[in-house]
Amino acid sequence: MRFTDWATKVMLISLIFAALIIVLLIGRGRQVQNNTIRFINTSKPEVTAWSQYPQAQFQSAKEPKQKSQNLKSPVKMNQPVGRYVTTQAFAYYRPHYQIVSVDPTNYGERYTTDVNGKLVHNQPIIVLHETGYSASSAINFFQVAHTDENVQASYHALIKLDGTIIYLVPPEKRAFGAANSVFESSQGIETVQTNPNLPASVNNFAYHVSLETPPDSYDSNSQETHSGYTEAQYNSLAWLIAQSQVPDDRITTHKLVDRSGKKVDPINFDGNKFLDLLNIYRQVRPIYR
């Protein structure tokens, strides 16, 4: 065999091996890419989930226009103002989530005036609840149309025992989470009546979040038979609220705002544990104007 023929055959064999290696590398690259995409899709909520949570102002109706000379800024120049920002711990925590529709009879619009036509300017509050039964039973109830205004009910969000966040009512809407209710703030009693047939409530300026009740406390208001909430629920609750500009002193419970004398939820809720986690997921950053 001549040297040129031998060299040609060696070169062809080398090219074939090189082509095989390239094909294998491309296939492996595609597999890694597919696995990465699959991981991203299953472990990270979509951007639409973030938009479900309210920011500092979430009333959807437009405020009436006022003349500029009548407006007075409550903030002086160079006065530090705190704004909440999420932390690295917040970025690392990725709860599972679902977005579930609620029947329109179980929520409504937020109003800028009460039943008497008086302007309302309440800052948002967050009201914590528990479901009383399973998360699925609460969701099923919210998805059924209710014509009786005394029966209509909903939350903005619900957190299951495993920490999954269920987004129910958009934050710009008024969820029917607390009927006869008031919020006692440093400014005094806050409540708004939007329906002449129903008592005043905090619903017009509240964001309602509920924790799924543990099975040992179904149909019971007893602290002795209530095992409390899971670590996943506390973490998801703190993570959810960390996205808002609602301050700690405007986070309350259904029991505290209720005026019917019947609501005691959330039972056995560890407020200190929750606030510790909330401070891990968000911090105050001073800004100057």
Neighbours of 285 (CB within 10 A): 10
Q: Does the structure show a pLDDT above 80 at 77?
A: no
Neighbours of 200 (CB within 10 A): 20
The pTM is what?
0.74
Q: Give counts: helices (H), strands (E), the chain.
A: 7, 12
Q: What pLDDT, on a 0 to 100 scale, did the predictor assign at position 111?
A: 95
Q: Does domain 50-62+72-288 have CATH number 3.10.150.10?
A: no
Q: What pLDDT, on a 0 to 100 scale, did the predictor assign at position 51?
A: 43
Q: What pLDDT, on a 0 to 100 scale, did the predictor assign at position 287?
A: 75
Residue 78 and residue 235: Cα distance in Å, rounded?
Answer: 36
Q: What pLDDT, on a 0 to 100 scale, did the predictor assign at position 174?
A: 96
Torsion angles phi and psi, residue 91, rounded to 5: -65, -30
Q: What pLDDT, on a 0 to 100 scale, did the predictor assign at position 28?
A: 52
DSSP codes of every residue in 58-117: ---SPPPP--GGG---SS-TT-EEEEEEE-HHHHH----EEE----GGGEEE--SB-TTS
The pLDDT-based confidence of 73 (bands split at 50, 70, 90) is: very low
- Asked if 62 and 258 count as a contact pair (C-beta separation under 8 A), the reply is no
- pLDDT over 70 for what percent of the chain? 72
Note the pLDDT tens digit of each residue in 136-155.
Answer: 999 999 999 999 999 999 99
Q: Does the structure show a pLDDT above 90 at 7?
A: no
Nearest to 135 by CA among 83, 23, 228, 210: 210
Helices 271-281 and 231-241 cross at an angle (nearest 10°) of 50
